[in-house]
Structures are given as C-alpha cells and as structure tokens.
Amino acid sequence: MSLFIGIDVGTSGTKAVLLNQQGQVVATGSGSHAPSAPRSGWSEQAPDDWWPSTIEAINQTCRTAGVAADTIEGVGLTGQMHGLVALDSSATPIRPAILWNDGRSAPQCQAVEARIGIERLVSLCGNRMLPGFTAPKLLWMREHEPEAYARITTVLLPKDWIRYRLSGELVMDVSDASGTAVFDCANRTWSDELLGELDLPRSWWPHAAEGPEIVASVHAAAAAETGLREGVPIVAGAGDQAASAIGTGLIKEGTVGSTLGTSGVVFAPTDQWRSLPDGRLHAFCHAVPGRWHLMGVMLSGAGSLDWFRSAMVPDIDEAAGSEAFPRIEAMAEEVPAGADGVIFLPYLSGERTPYSDVNARGTFIGLDQRHDRRHLARAVFEGVTHGLAQCLDLVRAAGVEPETVRLSGGGAKSPLWRQTCADLFGVPTTTTTTTEGTACGAAILAAVGAGAFPSIEDACQATVSEVDQTDAGPNAAVLAARHSIYERLYPALKPLFPAIADDA
C-alpha cells in the first residue's frame, strides 16, 4: 500500500503524518525545536534547528507505523508562514530566521503604508504591509543590518528551507508566498511593481508553484539522513493555514473554518479572487489550484484561556495538564450567557483582525461586586468568539456567505465554546474527523501530486468527514445583544491604547 508523508515545520516543533492511499492517517510523529527572543518583541529561530526535528518527526512516525521510511512514495511540506530565511550565494542562512510573531518591523510597515497607501497595496498584493509578513523584515534588515542584507541572494520561507535540505531545490508555493506581502495573489505570481517600489530584487524570490505540483525529489545525502528513498517526489506544499484547510476539507466557497488555537483564525475559501479595499482580511492564494481564501487572524484565541489559567486561577496549575481547560469551562458554565454583563476584549498581544493595532490591550469591562472569576472565565470564552464573529462578518462583507463553520484546534473540544460559536456565528458549527489537519493537508497534497487521487477534492472526500454539528441555541439572542456592545468597545478605547501601551 502506498504511503505519503506530510511534514509541518511549526514554531515549537515539527510534526509528521503518514497517510495511506485510502486517505487514512496511519501514524503521526514529532520532533522539537524552540524559538528564541533576543529582545522584547523579537522572535527568531536557527533554520538548522528545523532539520534534526524534521528527521526525528519522520523517524518517529515510521516507527509508530512499523514501516521503513524508504517505503514512502511522496513528501508534502507545510509550516509556519512569513518567516524570513535569508540565504547567501552558497545557500547558507545569513542570520537566524525572523519569525511570523516578530514585531520589530512595525516602523517599516508604517512607512510603506504611508508612502504607497493601503488601497494601492491591497490592489497590488491583496494585503496590508504587516510586521508579521516577510518583506518588511527585509526592510528592517536593510536599515539595521546592512552588511548582512548585502549578502542576500535568495529568500525562502521555513518549510522551503526543509525542501532545500531534502532536495537541493529552491522553490516556494503560492499559498505561502502570499504571506510575503510582495506576491500578486490575484494573478498567483510575484508583484514586479511592488518589488520595484520596495527596491527588493526579483531574483531573490524563487518560483512559486501550485500546492500539489511535484517540484523536487529527495537527493542522496538527505536519503542517507532521513531514511527516505532517493528520488521520492516532493510537492510544492502549502503554508500552514492553507494546509490545515485542506486537512479539514475547507476547499470550496461556502464552507468556512475557524481555528480555536493559540491564535484564532477564520478561513474562507473562495472560487474567485476577492479582497477588501482596506485590507482588514488577508486575501491569499489557496493551495488548491485556481482557488483563493480570505482569512482573519486574532492574535489571542485559546491563548487567552492559557493566560486566564495562569493569571486568574493559579490553583489550576500546569500540572493539571489536559484537565485544566475542562475545569475552567466548568467554572464558566456556572454563570449565564452574557456573563452577567462582563465583556472581555482579547487583545493580549495587540490585534491583527478585525483591527490591525499593536497597541490594543486586553480589557474586562462591566465589572461590579457580583462578579467573580467564574464570570471572567465565561467572558473570556465569549470575548474571543465575539472577535471571531467580527472576522466572519468581514468575510460576509467580501461576498462569501458561510453555510457552515468547521471548528478545529484545541478549543473545538469544548462543548461550551462550540455552542458559543454557533450562537454568535449565525450558522451551524461542526468539527471534523481530522485531528492533525495541517500535516495531514501536506500529506494529501503529496498523495495528489503522486497520483493516488485525481484531485484535492477527491482526496478530501476520502479523508475528511464532519461530526458533532451544533446549532444556535436559546442563548443566541442574549449573545447577539452583547455583540452590539462589544463592537463599540474597540472604537471607544482606541484613542487610549497608545498611552496605555507606552506606560507598560
């Protein structure tokens, strides 16, 4: 039976999934690596650290499955988006990769948006210039590390560095390239006009292929280190969000997904190019050829509950492990929907969607003497969901009407959170049978590229099923009324956030 591996190069480790030709997940594995924070607001990683964690993920997956790595028939890659891997003429990293969650390039983004204008930026690449993206990191290097900048000959994204280590080929894919801020997403190619505006050489940017396209093969040196067979095809792959969407079956317009992970994401596939003139939603190429997606990203999703646990309920410590989250959920369920008037703004790390504001700060509002930590717990669940509902409203404003919303991420295990989403989204929510969506999406692309399935649609039909549908309940009207108040809070507080942030 043919086997295909999907490799996901994440921020805190590498995961791998082994998929068979029937679309069944055979085994999973992982390897670890860690980011560093040399200064406040910075986030970096040595690209060479990703290679041993990738080898470990491959080996662990094969050990679990009881198969040899040289039986694998195709490799798919995915990983953290936006990270800058700057290479010199010998294809050696010049400095540690600057990651997606690094905020140092905010001044460069502000300067570009002031000079070019947001609407023109959106017309050229579909998106605003945000600190998480790749291109502004290069502008920061040019200003602060000119000697290192002068040595650049190639720019890669994290998963593409692993492809280079596996094959010696310098290639990207269209979905990951969309997050560089210099890719013409509407036409699925590099924006020569925008690269010229920013004075970034076109020669630095490799060919960006479609997700299931075979673009490389495992070379002899990598085969010796990983156990993979020399010559095994490697497909272009996808950025992590597009890969996760494939792994959860989000490939057609009308089926929208929401990730309740550390960050909160709303992902909406589109059958034609769409964007918002103000760039409040990301507009990227999907890893499905001929399709795109809109995406809203909240920087604190389930991460808000992690903060709540450590700050507000120290008696539920990390030793509780998997029991911590259900215990907080049980606290929240002791108070009614609406948290007796308490509202939480989940801007613990600033915000990206629906408001791009590094100065935004988390807030509880509406407190009085009746309230205790149970009300705060309920407000955190609801506050994050209010923010996701705002992202979904922007998707509707772009012309995409969701039929259902598929929930994924750790938070989707919570019945309370699933119900709150259904109540606020206005459409049924479901979960899927896929538990490792991102790496599974990469494996699906590998299987399609190798010919095991005629299309991504056929592969997803074999792999992904919806389960646990949740419809709006009796609390929907209460939460809708609270949502109208929630929407007015950020505009009211926005003028105060810069001063609050400066005092921090």
Q: Is pLDDT above 60 for 504?
A: no
Is the bond preceding residue 269 a cis peptide, omega within 30 degrees?
Answer: no
Strand, coil or helix: 218: coil
Worst-scoring range by mean pLDDT, 158-162, 282-286, 343-347, 435-439? 435-439
Same CATH fold assignment for domains 3-248 and 299-399+475-503 = yes
| Mean pLDDT, range 82-108, rounded to an integer | 95
Distance of alpha carbon 190 from alpha carbon 158, whole angstroms: 18
Strand, coil or helix: 233: strand
| Mean pLDDT, range 90-107, rounded to an integer | 94
Contact criterion met (CB below 8 Å) for 341 and 366: yes
Q: What are phi and psi of 503, to 5 degrees?
A: -80, -15
**Cβ-Cβ contacts under 8 Å for 357 (sequence gap 6 or more):** 347, 350, 351, 494, 497
Provide the whole-model pTM: 0.92
Contact criterion met (CB below 8 Å) for 386 and 425: no
Residue 319 pLDDT grade (very low, low, confident, very high; cuts 50, 70, 90): low
Q: Is pLDDT above 60 for 40?
A: yes
Instruction: Name the amino acid, one letter, at 324.
Output: A
Q: Is pLDDT above 90 for 315?
A: no
Q: Is pLDDT above 70 for 320?
A: no
Mean pLDDT over each residue of the chain, to the nearest integer: 94
Contact criterion met (CB below 8 Å) for 85 and 47: yes
| Mean pLDDT, range 278-304, rounded to an integer | 95
Q: Where are the alpha helices (DSSP H) in 173-239?
A: 174-177, 192-198, 220-226
What is the per-residue pLDDT for 312? Answer: 86
Instruction: Name the amino acid, one letter, at 266.
Output: V
Nearest to 299 by CA among 307, 309, 288, 289: 307
| Mean pLDDT, range 264-270, rounded to an integer | 96
What digits encode the pLDDT tens for the residues 381-409?
999 999 999 999 999 999 999 999 999 88
Q: Is pLDDT above 80 for 191?
A: yes
Q: Which residue has the tokens 């020669």?
A: 203
What is the per-residue pLDDT for 436? Answer: 77
Burial class of residue 208 (count of CB atoms within 10 Å of its CB; 0-12, 13-18, 19+): buried
Contact criterion met (CB below 8 Å) for 50 and 162: yes
Kindly list the domain boundaries of the chain, sorted by start residue: 3-248, 299-399+475-503
Residue 429 pLDDT grade (very low, low, confident, very high; cuts 50, 70, 90): very high
| Mean pLDDT, range 230-243, rounded to an integer | 97
Residue 214 pLDDT grade (very low, low, confident, very high; cuts 50, 70, 90): very high
Contact criterion met (CB below 8 Å) for 30 and 16: yes
Residue 501 pLDDT grade (very low, low, confident, very high; cuts 50, 70, 90): confident
What digits encode the pLDDT tens for the residues 11-20?
889 999 999 9
Structure tokens at 482: 């609270």
- Which one of the listed residues 240, 315, 368, 503 is annotated catalytic? 240
| Mean pLDDT, range 192-214, rounded to an integer | 98
Nearest to 127 by CA among 200, 185, 189: 185
Domain 299-399+475-503: homologous superfamily in CATH: ATPase, nucleotide binding domain (3.30.420.40)
| Mean pLDDT, range 326-348, rounded to an integer | 96
Q: Is pLDDT above 80 for 314?
A: no
Distance of alpha carbon 243 from alpha carbon 441, whole angstroms: 5
* 262 vs 289, residue with greater confidence: 289
Q: Is pLDDT above 80 for 322?
A: no
CATH for 3-248?
Answer: 3.30.420.40
| Mean pLDDT, range 353-368, rounded to an integer | 92
Contact criterion met (CB below 8 Å) for 413 and 468: no
Distance of alpha carbon 328 from alpha carbon 308, whole angstroms: 9
CA 321 vs CA 29, 63, 326, 390, 414: distances in Å: 20, 26, 10, 31, 15
What is the per-residue pLDDT for 317? Answer: 62
Q: Under the phi-then-psi rule, with left for phi > 0, alpha for psi from -120 to 50, and beta for the rest, what region is 447?
A: alpha
240 is catalytic: yes
Nearest to 273 by CA among 409, 111, 400: 400
Which DSSP letter does residue 91 get?
S
Distance of alpha carbon 432 from alpha carbon 293, whole angstroms: 20
